[in-house]
Amino acid sequence: MNDLKVLNCAYSFMDNYAQHAGLSILSLFDNNIEADEINVYILDNNICEDNKTRLNSIAKQYNRNIIFIDLAQLTSKMNVETHFCRSTYGKLFLAQIKEVDLMLTFDCDTIVTGSLLELLNIDMQDALVAGVQDTVNPYFVYKIGLSNDDRYINCGGVILLNLKLWRELDIENKCIDYVISYRGNPPFVDQGTVNHVCRDRKKILPPEYNLINPMFMFPVEKIKRLFRMKTYYSQNEIENAKKKPKVIHFTGELFNRPWFLNCSHPMKQIYLDYLAKSPWKNYELVYKQVSKNCRIQNWIYYHCPFYIYELMIRFIHLRHLLQNRVM
């Protein structure tokens, strides 16, 4: 019996995200020292040689493996012009890596802060994907064929893919068909695709594996009310996740990203600490103005009662319905 603790992990990114992916990989290695082996598969979308050298230096420091795979070749069967960067769809094609049956995937805007080895013990026999439940405007949940009875997962942070079952059920081609049915622009891109195609074969991970911004913004009852969810985590689960996260997902809304000067995320220092230990330690933070819509939402969040923020969310929902004539 093979008792080796092996983490197979994947990232998909362009060159301008190499620094952030590099810090995520550094934190992954740093917090999983007890793993016997860690293999990181990077779906390479024109990453420059300098950044590849930096990424390899991190792997060498921890005696781990990085394998670069050409994204264009991997995704060649998806013969459609996508509205988003093709890297976003990379995880849909990981079943082509035949030597891996169970794969952890990460977005580049993550920092790993704990051991992930417990994920190797999850029973995934009948599940295609496992991830942390997300908070999504109900319009997008309905648009991909789900209801508020379903638990919609976020495909950033950590998701666990059962690639063996993906191959057996031809999930890659089902994902391609779904993307093409929306002419390369499905709702919420890869995330909407995974939630639709895998809707009956999902597992929900504890929130500490993908600590997202709404978990800091509202208590659980308000989150359920805002997004009309019947089922979500308990308040105790969220509080424990904030105390001991395993993966922090630095999404852009409200707080901005930690590589910008004006980031207000309560855990941004963790990103900055890894930046200081990385081959990109001389990177200078710059100011990033958020979009007008984000500025309006942020102002309402900080200055208005909750019911005003809720009215804004309802207005956004209604606007989507009217724009798409789905009344």
Domains assigned to the chain:
6-253 (3.90.550.10)
As a whole number, mean pLDDT of residues 179-184 equals 90
pLDDT at 293 over 90: no
pLDDT at 31: 98
Over range 184-212, report the average pLDDT.
94
Q: What is the pLDDT of residue 252?
A: 81
- Among residues 126, 124, 152, 128, the alpha carbon closest in space to that of 138 is found at 152
Check residue 321 and give its pLDDT.
78
The count of other CB atoms within 10 Å of the CB of residue 297 is 18
DSSP-assigned letters across all residues of 255-322:
T--TTBTT---TTHHHHHHHHHTSTTTTPPPB--PPPHHHHHHHHHHHHS-HHHHHHHHHHHHHHHHH
Name residue 110's beta-bridge partners. Answer: 249
Can you give the pLDDT at residue 2?
A: 61
Say what the pTM is: 0.94
> Taking 80 as the threshold, does the pLDDT of residue 318 lie above it?
yes
**Mean pLDDT confidence for 265-277:** 97
Q: What is the per-residue DSSP string for 140-154? A: HHHHTT--TTS-PBP
pLDDT confidence band for 326 (50 / 70 / 90): very low
